[in-house]
Amino acid sequence: MPNELILLLVVFLILLFLRTPIAFAMGISALVFILVGDIKITILSQRLASGLNSFPLLAIPLYIMAGQLMNTSGISERIFQFAASLVGHVRGGLGHVNILASMIFAGVSGTAVSDAASLGAVEMKAMKDAGYDPGFSAAVTAASSAVGPIIPPSVVLIIYGVMGEVSVGSLFLGGVIPGIIIGFVLMGLVYIIAVKRGYPSQKKTTIRQKGIALQRAFLSLLMPLIILGGIVLGITTPTEAGVLAVLYAIFLGVMYKEINWKTFLVSMREGLTINASIMLIVSVAAIFSWVLVSQNVPRIVADLILSLTSNPIIVLLLVNLFLLILGMFFDTMAILIICTPIFIPLMNMIGVDLVHFGVIMVFNLMIGIITPPMGICLYIVSDVGEVPVATVIRESLPFIIPLLIALLIITFFPQTVLWLPELVFN
């Protein structure tokens, strides 16, 4: 391995250890490589600009903006009440409601953090008022937020699609069935814990009450259908569907009388702040990835793994293990941006579909956000629910088991991901 590449990795790891923001860690280490390697400095500006020169990336600010507007449109409570009317009567009712509401909200927000922060406040308060342990409520909220970037729309899947030159529309459709699987396995564990601890269930709602809840949430529930429907029917691209999502979010805010100029501007400011940080990371990642590719790092990693085995399933299991370990210690976006250009050539060599691998990779990273010590959603729900972090971590550990089961199902059965995209786009 060239000395310049070793220096790049050492500088990058030191900066991460010093808690330098990931964009600056990648940018500074790449700059050191360029200066030491006597490469023209103009390559830095060229790669920074080219990293953002992609039409699908336009979808990211649109979905972020739509999610911010929906958060202020009063839909969280409506979705929660609708989910309660469907599954609240099952043993451990509000735990199941928490998961189902997160699955529905995933079709709106596109990010796990947004799910945990906005819908999580409604979910944890309702569970606490009903007599559930605060730690359990926070753990369910954190675990269910992992569904956010799997069920479309998904900011993380867009970035993977751009970096790997994979159809974003296929990735969106590929995440639907895995998202449902994740929800069901989490509900299974909630039921077991509810029986063991004697958690209550709500009174079964009547058809009329279900109808009222559906009526209140109906317009909110149309958002995922608008996004997926436009893509499936070929009416819109994922980016154009993002435009419709923003316009529809504004329409809902006006209909529900929840949005005024003040809340609109607040949503705009928060959305722009989130988008700016993401786009900075994506831009800087372009130069960092170029360095890795130029130094044949993907080939080195592929040869190393293939020297152990060429069996696609075993390779995927090794990659899963590697990503799960990384997710315990590093930022999700950092892992995605660094590992995507490394692993995609390997997947091509062993014949793994890149849509299948994309969903696997993103799901691995979502497990990381609820895995200590660096699981960001653990700290978010701890803050939102005012529950000690140690309690949240202890209660969250059992939820990693069903998530790993879902990961193995998605890994061993590619059609759970590929069936819907093949059905629509073939």
- pLDDT tens, 295-332? 777 778 778 888 888 888 899 999 998 888 887 777 77
How many Å separate Cα 62 from the centre of its chain? Answer: 16
User: What global pTM score does this model have?
Assistant: 0.81
Looking at the predicted structure, is the pLDDT value of residue 286 above 80?
no
Residues whose CB is less than 8 angstroms from the CB of residue 311 and which lie 6 or more positions away in sequence, other chains included: none
Q: Residue 224's closest CA among 250, 251, 248?
A: 248
CA separation for the pair 199, 320 (Å, rounded): 34
- Which tens digit of pLDDT belongs to each residue from 28-66? 888 888 888 777 777 777 777 776 777 677 777 887 787
Mean pLDDT computed over every residue of the chain? 81
Q: Token pair 């409506």 is at which residue?
A: 78
CA separation for the pair 297, 5 (Å, rounded): 9
What percent of the chain is modeled with pLDDT above 70? 93
Alpha helices by DSSP H, listed for 256-311, are: 261-294, 297-306
How far, CA to CA in Å, does 398 sit from each of 97, 190, 386?
A: 19, 10, 21
Q: Residue 238's closest CA among 59, 5, 383, 2?
A: 59
CA separation for the pair 171, 361 (Å, rounded): 12
Q: Residue 338's closest CA among 154, 160, 144, 125?
A: 160
- Which tens digit of pLDDT belongs to each residue from 335-382? 887 888 888 988 998 889 999 999 999 999 888 878 876 677 777 777
Q: What is the pLDDT of residue 28?
A: 86
- Which tens digit of pLDDT belongs to each residue from 262-272? 878 887 887 78
pLDDT level of residue 119 (50, 70, 90 thresholds): low
- Which tens digit of pLDDT belongs to each residue from 199-219? 777 778 888 888 888 888 788
Q: What is the pLDDT of residue 118?
A: 61
Q: Token pair 């970037």 is at which residue?
A: 149
- DSSP class of residue 396? H
Question: Phi-psi region for residue 20, left (φ > 0), alpha (ψ -120 to 50) or beta?
Answer: beta
Structure-model confidence comparison of residues 111 and 342, the more confident one:
342
Q: Which residues of 61-97 are buried (b: 16+ CB within 10 A; e: fewer)?
A: bbbbbbbbbbbbbbbbbbbbbbbbbbbbebbbbbbbb
Looking at the predicted structure, is the pLDDT value of residue 109 above 80?
no
